[in-house]
Amino acid sequence: MKKFLSYIRPHLPVMSLQFLVKFGGTIIELFLPWILSTILDDAVPSGNMNSVYRWGGAMILCALLALIANVVANRMAIRTSRNVIIQLRHDLFEKALQLSSSQTDRLTIPSLISRLTTDTYNVHQLLDNMQRLLIRAPILLLGGLVITALLEPVLTLILIAALPFLGLVIWYTTRIGVPMYTEAQTALDRLIRTVQENIHGVRVIKALSKGDYEIAKFDQSNRDLIQKEQRAGITMAVTNPGMNLILNLGLALVIVLGAFRVNAGLTQPGRIVAFLSYITIIITALMRVPRLFVIYSKGSASAKRIAEVLEMSETMKIGMRDPVPGPYHIEFKDVCFSYNKVRNNLTNIRFGLKRGETLGIIGPTGSGKSTLLNLLLRFYDADSGEIRLSGENIGGIPPEVLHTKFGVVFQNDFLFADTIRANIDFGRRLTDAQIEMAAGTAQMDFVSEKSEGFSSLLTIKGANLSGGQKQRLLIARALAANPEILMLDDCSSALDYKTDAELRHALAKGFKDTTTIVVAQRISSIMAADKIMVLDEGRIIGYGSHAELLSTCGSYREIYEAQMGVVM
Amino acid sequence: MNQKLPPMPERTALASSRFEKPKVKASLILGRLWKYLYASKWLLLLALMMNIASNLLALAGPKLSGYAIDAIAQGTGHVDFPVVYCYASLMIGFYLTAFVISYFLSVLMIRLSRNVVYSMRRDVFSKLAALPVSFFDNRKTGDIISVISYDIDTLNTSLSNDLLQVLTSVITVAGSLVMMLTISPKLILVFAVTIPLSVTFTKYRSEKVRPLYRNRSAKIGELNGFMEEATGGLKTIKAYSREPFFLSRFDTKNQEAVQANYQADHFASITGPSVNFINNFSLALVSVFGALLYMGGSISLGSISSFVLYSRKFSGPINEFANIISDLQSALAAAERVFRLLDEEPETADRPQAAELKEVHGDVRLQAVRFGYVPGKPVIRDISLHAPGGSVIAIVGPTGAGKTTIIHLLMRFYDVDSGAITIDGHDIRDMTRKSLRQAYTMVLQDAWLFHGTIFENIAYGKNGVTREDVVRAARMAMIHTYIASLPEGYDTMLSDNAVNLSKGQKQLLIIARAILMDSHILILDEATSNVDTQTERQIQSAMLHLMSGRTCFIIAHRLSTIQNADRILVVSEGRIVEEGTHGELMGRGGTYYDLYHSQFETN
C-alpha cells in the first residue's frame, strides 16, 4: 500500500480540496433536518406561514448547493483517479520493459500480464469508489456529529457512544473478512488455470477422451472455490445488519433520553425528530460500506501485486568500461552460468569470432545453445568469466548501445497486430529500401501474393501467417537495420529445405561483414559456417570447421550421418 | 454437419461482441436464470419470507418512534414516560429481531447464489468439454475465460446483492407508501411531483451514458490486448532496445482507455447527486406542507416525524434504483454471454446406431476426401490413400499443404465435406467418437503439459498406471535421467516456470506419455522437430517400439526420419502429387527428389 500511496501523494492537495467540497456539500445537505426541526419548533408554534415558506425555500437552496458541491467533488475525484492510473500503468509497463530476464522468469509472463490488466483495473475501481462512495459514509457520520452537536450536544453523546461499536464491526470485517476474500481469489485463479489448460490442450484431451476426467477435476476446484467464497460471504454478512442494529438501538436511546430532556425543558420535540432523521441518513450511507469492502479487498490485493513489480530493484548494473584490444569481434572467456545457481547450464565456454565470421551451434536439447545467446545479449550476467564485444566487456556497455548492434530471431519470436512493414520496422524508422532489401534476403516472396503487400495486417501473434512465413518475417526484421551481429536461434525449422538453402545463399551474399551466430537442429543449416560449436550439457565438446569436426568429433559425425541418411 | 471456421471478419466481430448490449430479450434471459434459481426453490421461498418479515419489522420502526414522539410532544413536564418506554422497548425488540432475521437472510442468499454459481460454472465447463475443436480455433482464450470468471462473477455479485436489494426495495417502497398513506394521504401528493421527475431523469441519463460505457469497454479491451501482446514479446523488445517505442505506443492506448473511462464517468457523475437533489427537494416540500397541515391541526408532530422517516426510506431505494438497474443490466449482459456459450453447438452427436470401435486392425482408408475449414476455400481437394494395418505412412510437403488437416480429419476433430474415411472398412462417422479416438495415440508438435506433477503428466493418457510403468516409459523416452536429477523427481510440479523444461524435454515427456498407451494407430505430427538429432537417435528405439505393430502416420520436415516409411505421400495444395517409397520417389526425380536434395545444399 505504501507504494500506492506514493502515487496518491502528489494529488493530495486536490484530493483534500475535493474532500472539503464534498464535506461542505454534505454539511449543507445535513442542514435539511435541522431546518425541519426549526420549522416544527419555531415557525409552526408562532403560526407564521411566511416563515414556513422562507424555511422551505432555504431547504431547496441547500439541496441545490449540495447538488452542485457533489457533482463538482465527484468530477474532481474522477479526474484524480484518471491521472493516478495513467501514471501508475505507465510506470508499471515501463518497469515491465526494464525488468531483467531473471526477474521476468521469476514473475512469469502470465502473472505480469494480469498485473498490467486486471490489477490496474481493480486499483482504478478502488480509487474511484474510495473517493466517491467510501468517503461519503464517514463524512455523513462526521458531519452528522458536527450538526447534531450544534443542535443537541447531549443527545450527540449517544451517537458518539455508538462509534466504537461501529468501529468494531468494521475492524472485524476487514481483519477477518478481507483475507478470506483474498483466499477465494486464489482459488478462483486456480480454477481459471484449469480452464486455460483445457482450452490449450483441447486436442489432446479429446484425443485421449479425458473429458470426464477433466470435468471431475474442474468440479473439485469449483467446489473448493465455492466453499471459500461462501465462508467469506457469511463472515461479511454480519456487517450490514450489525451496523443497522447499533444505530437503531441508538435511535431508541435518543427517544428515551430525549423524553427526559424534553420533560425537563432542556430541548424541544422537533429536535428529536431531526435527530431521528440524521440517524436514518447515516444508516443509509453505511448500507453501501460492506460492498465497498469487497472492492477494497480486491483493490488492495491488486495494489500489492503491482507494488511488488514496481519495487523490484534494478539488478543489471552497468560496469566500468575496460577495453582490451584483441583480434576478435566476439569473445567468450571461460564463461560459466546457471539459471538456478545449482547446476551449471553453461560451463567454461571459451571461443573467439572475427568480424564477418559465421558460427554454427549445434547440440542436444537443453545443452545451453539459447542460453549462450541470452548471455551475449546480456539478458543474464555470467556467473564467472567474461564476454567481450570488439574488446569491450559487455557489462560496461549500456544496454541500448549493446542491443542496437544485434539483429536477433528467437525461437517462437514475437509478432504483433500491425502491418507486415511495422513488424519488420519494429519502431526503428527504417526506410522502404531497407525493408524491401531485408524482405528480399529473407525470401519473403509471399508478401507479393498479398493484395495489400507490406501494408497487410497481421492478426494478434501473427496468427494469419504460416509457421514458415512467420520465420521469414522475423528474419527480415533481424536483417533490416543491417546489424553488426546476426543471431538466429533455430528460426528456419519451419522452412522447407529449398527455401532454407536459398535463404542461406542470400545471407552469404548480402551480409558478408556481419558476424553471424546460427543455432540449428538441421546440420545443413550450419555445415558451411566458418566455425561450428558442438555443445553438450553446457560444455563445448567440439569446435572447428565442418571438415575438421567430421574427423575430430564423434558426436558431430553421428549427427551428420543420422541426418543425411545414406549419402548418395 | 461440419463445424466450419467462420470467415475472418466475423472472427473480429466475435472478439468485440463481449461489449455489445444484450440482443436477446431480457425476459428470455431471466427465464433461463430462473431455472437455475428454481433448483433452490425452497431456499428462495424461505429467503423471500424472511425478507418480507425483516422489512416489515424495520418498517414498524418509524411508526413506533412517531408514537413515542407524540408522547414526548406533550411538552415540558408533561411527557408520558410509560408510553415512551413502551414504544422504545418495542423498537428495541423489533430491531433485534430484524437483525437476526436479516443476518440469516444474507446467509441464505449466499447459499442460494452459491448453488446457482456452482451449477453455472459446472454447466459452462461441461459445455466446453463437449464443444468441437473448431470452437476453440475461432475464439480467443481470454474471451472464453472471461465468461467463466468475470461474467459468472458479475452474476454472482448481482444475485447475492442486487436480488436481495431489489426485494428489499420493493417491500420498503410499498410498505413506506402504505404507512405514509395511513399517516397523511395529502402529504403523499408531494411525491406525485418528485417521483416522475426522478424516474424520467434517471432513464434519460442512463440512455445517454450507455454508448459512453460501451466505448469505455472497447478501449479497455484494446489496451489489454496490447499489453498482453507486448508483454509476451518482452525479450525481443529488449533485444532490439525498442522499449521507448513500445512505451509510447502503450501511452497512446493507455490515454485513450483512461480518457474513455473519464468521459463516461464524468457524464455519469451527475446522476447520483441529481437524484439525491430530487429527494431533498421532496423533503423540503414535505416539511413545508407538513408544517402547514400541522398548523391546521390535521396532523401531529409524531406523524410528521414518522412521515419524514418513511419518506427517507421510500426515496432511499429509489435513489439506489439507478445503481441497481445498471448493475442488473450488466448482470443480464453477463448472463447472456454465459447462455450464448451454453447454446453453442456441441460436437455433433454420435449417430444413433454408432458402434464401438473394437479390436482395431488399423486398416485406414481415405476415399476422395474433400474438406475446407471455410466454405469455398478447400484445404483438402481430393485425397485418397490406403494404409494397411501396421504400415508406416509418411506425409511430406510444404507448410499449408494440408498435412495437419488430414490428421484433424482422421481424429474427427472435423468431419469431411465429401468422401469418406474408414477404419477396418467402417466409416468413422458410424462409430462413437470416444472409441474412435481411443484407437489413436497422438504426439503433436505442440507439447501440451498441465499444472501437475511429472508423474501425472506422463500417466495422463491411461488409467491405473503404476509408478514402474511411468519410469519405464520415461527411460525409453530418454528423459528419466533428467527427471531423476530433479530434487523432487517424478513428483516435481510442472507449474508455470518452476522447472526450466526446454521444448525438447517437454516433447520427450509427451513421447513417454504416448509410450504408455496401447492403441493401434499412431499419429506423429512433427513429433520430434523440437528434439535434436542426437536425442532423436537415442530415442529411436523407443520410437520404433512405439511404432511396432501400429499403423503410423508421420508428418515430418526432416526427411531422414521418414526414409524407412512403407509409403511416402508428397502433398501439395490439398492433393497428393507423388506417392511411393523413398527409393521410388528418388528415382522419379520429382518434387520429393528436389526436397531431398535441398537439404544438402550449402553455400
- The 10s digit of each residue's pLDDT in B344-358 is 888 877 888 888 877
- A233/B228 Cα distance (integer angstroms): 32
Residue in B closest to A203 by C-alpha:
B133
* Placement of cell 490442450 in the chain: A201
Residues 6+ apart with CB under 8 A from B343: none
Residue type, A228: K
Interface of A with B in 280-319 (CB under 8 A): 280-281, 284, 291, 294
Shortest Cα distance, chain B CAs vs residue A231, angstroms = 9
Mutate to test the interface with B, among A195, A397, A517, A568 (most CBs of B within 10 A): A195
- B193/B190 Cα distance (integer angstroms): 6
Mutate to test the interface with B, among A122, A124, A189, A199 (most CBs of B within 10 A): A199
Domain boundary among B156, B183, B210: B183
Q: What pLDDT score was predicted for residue B322?
A: 65
* Ramachandran sector of residue B5 (left: φ over 0; alpha: ψ -120 to 50; beta: rest): beta
Contact between A264 and B76 using a beta-carbon 8 Å cutoff: yes
Nearest to A427 among B114, B227, B242 (CB): B242
Residue in B closest to A247 by C-alpha:
B95
Shortest Cα distance, chain B CAs vs residue A36, angstroms = 6
Q: Which helix (H) or strand (E) holds B214?
A: helix B185-232
Q: What is the CATH number of domain A355-385+394-564?
A: 3.40.50.300
pLDDT of B118 above 70: yes
- B471/A564 Cα distance (integer angstroms): 33
* Interface predicted TM-score (ipTM) of this complex, two decimals: 0.81
* B127/A contact by beta carbon, under 8 A: no
Interface of A with B in 148-177 (CB under 8 A): none
Nearest to A209 among B161, B287, B437 (CB): B437
Sites in chain A below the pLDDT cut of 50: 566-568
* B549/A contact by beta carbon, under 8 A: no
- A72/A85 Cα distance (integer angstroms): 20
- For strands A531-536 and A384-389, give the pairing: unpaired
Nearest to B233 among A234, A416, A467 (CB): A416
B89 within domain boundaries: yes
Residue type, A166: L
* B466/A contact by beta carbon, under 8 A: no
- Residue A279 contacts residue A64 (beta carbons within 8 Å): no
Residue in B closest to A88 by C-alpha:
B254
B264-314: pLDDT as tens digits: 888 878 887 888 888 888 888 888 888 888 888 888 888 888 888 888 778
A153-186: pLDDT as tens digits: 888 888 888 888 888 888 887 788 778 877 887 8
HEC sequence for A119-181? HHHHHHHHHHHHHHHHCHHHHHHHHHHHHHHHHCHHHHHHHHHHHHHHHHHHHHHHHHHHHHH
B236: nearest Cα among A469, A415, A398:
A415
Q: What pLDDT score was predicted for residue B399?
A: 65
* CA-to-CA separations, A220 to A217, A224, A230, B109, B338, in angstroms, rounded: 5, 6, 15, 23, 21
Q: What pLDDT score was predicted for residue B20?
A: 41
B34-72: pLDDT as tens digits: 888 888 888 888 888 888 888 888 788 888 888 888 888
B316 within domain boundaries: no
Alpha carbon distance, N-terminus to C-terminus of chain A: 71
A89-104: pLDDT as tens digits: 999 999 988 888 888 8
Q: What pLDDT score was predicted for residue A375?
A: 93
Q: What's the CATH code of the domain at B439?
A: 3.40.50.300
Q: Which helix (H) or strand (E) holds B442?
A: strand B440-443
Domain boundary among B183, B218, B240: B183
- A430/A440 Cα distance (integer angstroms): 15
Q: What pLDDT score was predicted for residue A354?
A: 93
Q: What pLDDT score was predicted for residue B497?
A: 47
Exposed/middle/buried for B201, CB within 10 Å: 0-12, 13-18, 19+? middle
Q: Residue A194: its chain B contacts at CB < 8 A?
A: 451
Nearest to A237 among B106, B145, B598 (CB): B106
Mutate to test the interface with B, among A202, A257, A295, A342 (most CBs of B within 10 A): A202
- Read off the pLDDT of each residue in B17-36 and give the average, rounded to a whole number: 68
* B274/A contact by beta carbon, under 8 A: yes
Residue A456, classed as helix, strand or coil, is: coil
Interhelix angle for B81-130 vs B164-183, to 10°? 150
Residue type, A468: G
Mutate to test the interface with B, among A39, A50, A203, A279 (most CBs of B within 10 A): A203
Contact between A229 and B114 using a beta-carbon 8 Å cutoff: yes
Confidence of residue B467 (pLDDT cuts 50, 70, 90): very high
* Ramachandran sector of residue B553 (left: φ over 0; alpha: ψ -120 to 50; beta: rest): beta
Residue in A closest to B241 by C-alpha:
A400
Q: Residue B600: its chain A contacts at CB < 8 A?
A: 524, 564, 567
Q: Residue A249: its chain B contacts at CB < 8 A?
A: 92, 95
- Residue A346 contacts residue A375 (beta carbons within 8 Å): yes
Q: Return phi, psi of residue A335, to 5°.
A: -85, 130
Residues 6+ apart with CB under 8 A from A292: A129, A130, A133, A134
Residue in A closest to B437 by C-alpha:
A207
* A428/B contact by beta carbon, under 8 A: yes
Interface of B with A in 276-335 (CB under 8 A): 276-277, 280-281, 283-285, 287-288, 291-292, 294-295, 301, 304-305, 308-309, 312-313, 316
Q: What pLDDT score was predicted for residue A568?
A: 35
Confidence of residue B530 (pLDDT cuts 50, 70, 90): low
Mutate to test the interface with B, among A55, A85, A97 (most CBs of B within 10 A): A97
Domain boundary among B158, B183, B208: B183
Mutate to test the interface with B, among A117, A475, A541, A558 (most CBs of B within 10 A): A117
- Residue of higher predicted confidence among B585 and B318: B585
B82 within domain boundaries: yes
- A515/A486 Cα distance (integer angstroms): 6
Beta bridge partners of B441: B522
Nearest to B442 among A111, A117, A207 (CB): A207
Q: What is the CATH number of domain A2-310?
A: 1.20.1560.10
* A508/B contact by beta carbon, under 8 A: yes
Domain residue spans of chain A: 2-310, 355-385+394-564
- B381/B371 Cα distance (integer angstroms): 7
The DSSP line for B309-372 is HHHHHHHHHHHHHHHHHHHHHHHHHHHHHHHHHHTSPPSPPPPTTPBP--S----EEEEEEEE-
- Residue B382 contacts residue B366 (beta carbons within 8 Å): no
Contact between B301 and A265 using a beta-carbon 8 Å cutoff: no
Tell me which DSSP letter residue B495 carries: -
Beta bridge partners of B224: none
CA B338, B339, B344: angle at the middle one, nearest 5? 105
* Torsion sign across C-alpha atoms B87, B89, B94, B98: positive
* CA-to-CA separations, B172 to A31, A376, A493, B60, B310, in angstroms, rounded: 25, 72, 70, 11, 9
How many CB contacts within 8 angstroms connect chain A with chain B?
Answer: 479
Confidence of residue B5 (pLDDT cuts 50, 70, 90): very low
- B6/B448 Cα distance (integer angstroms): 26
Contact between B535 and A60 using a beta-carbon 8 Å cutoff: no
- A236/B248 Cα distance (integer angstroms): 43
- Residue of higher predicted confidence among A199 and B419: B419
Interface of B with A in 349-408 (CB under 8 A): 398-400
Interface of A with B in 439-468 (CB under 8 A): 460-461, 464, 466-468
Shortest Cα distance, chain B CAs vs residue A564, angstroms = 6
- B437/B120 Cα distance (integer angstroms): 29
B331 within domain boundaries: no
B161 within domain boundaries: yes
- Residue B116 contacts residue B36 (beta carbons within 8 Å): yes
In 3-state terms, chain A is what percent helix, strand and coil (to 5)? 65, 10, 25
Q: What's the CATH code of the domain at B134?
A: 1.20.1560.10
- Please give the residue range of the domain that contains residue B43: 24-183
Residues 6+ apart with CB under 8 A from A172: A238, A239
What is the largest distance, in Å, between two alpha-carbon atoms of chain B? 124
B579 within domain boundaries: yes
Q: Return phi, psi of residue A287, to 5°.
A: -55, -30
- A516/B603 Cα distance (integer angstroms): 14
- Residue A557 contacts residue A542 (beta carbons within 8 Å): no
Interface of B with A in 33-92 (CB under 8 A): 61-62, 65, 68-69, 71-73, 75-79, 81, 84-85, 87-89, 91-92
B344-398: pLDDT as tens digits: 888 877 888 888 877 778 889 999 999 988 787 788 888 999 999 889 999 987 7
The total of other beta-carbon atoms located within 10 Å of residue B25's CB is 10
The total of other beta-carbon atoms located within 10 Å of residue A494's CB is 20
* B481/A contact by beta carbon, under 8 A: no
Q: Residue A511: its chain B contacts at CB < 8 A?
A: none
Q: Residue B274: its chain A contacts at CB < 8 A?
A: 67, 71
- B439/A160 Cα distance (integer angstroms): 76
Q: Residue B269: its chain A contacts at CB < 8 A?
A: 71, 74-75, 78, 132
* A121/B contact by beta carbon, under 8 A: yes
- Residue B583 contacts residue B548 (beta carbons within 8 Å): no
- Residue A128 contacts residue A136 (beta carbons within 8 Å): no
pLDDT of B424 above 50: yes
Shortest Cα distance, chain A CAs vs residue B132, angstroms = 9
Contact between A63 and B281 using a beta-carbon 8 Å cutoff: yes
Number of domains in chain B: 2
- Read off the pLDDT of each residue in B327-334 and give the average, rounded to a whole number: 79
Alpha carbon distance, N-terminus to C-terminus of chain B: 51
